[in-house]
Amino acid sequence: MKLEMFSGIWSTLVGLLIEDGQLAIGALIALAITWAIAYTGDQGRDVSGWVLLAIVLALVVANLYRAGVSVRARVSSARR
């Protein structure tokens, strides 16, 4: 049971990161930005986690929006 759950989670993550290259590239850029912020000093280290969270949330919302637009376009073209 646990193995099936982990394999499902793994396949979902692989699908998100490999099949959707923009999300993976955005995640790497987000890590680079927060890494740079963290090395600016103590204040940078304090906010770097929040910056990473905000960037990743923005990436996920943008990806969901783009997927929704794509699906809506496919559905409307299938109805014609």
Q: Give yes or no for residue 69 having a pLDDT over 90.
A: no
The confidence band for 44, taking pLDDT boundaries of 50, 70 and 90, is confident
Total H helices, total E strands in the chain: 3, 0
What are the extents of the domains in the chain?
21-79
Q: Give yes or no for residue 72 having a pLDDT over 90.
A: no
Q: Give yes or no for residue 13 having a pLDDT over 90.
A: no
Average pLDDT over every residue of 50-65: 90
The confidence band for 19, taking pLDDT boundaries of 50, 70 and 90, is low
* Count of CB atoms situated within 10 Å of the CB of 27: 17
pLDDT of residue 77: 79
Q: Indicate the pTM of the whole model.
A: 0.66
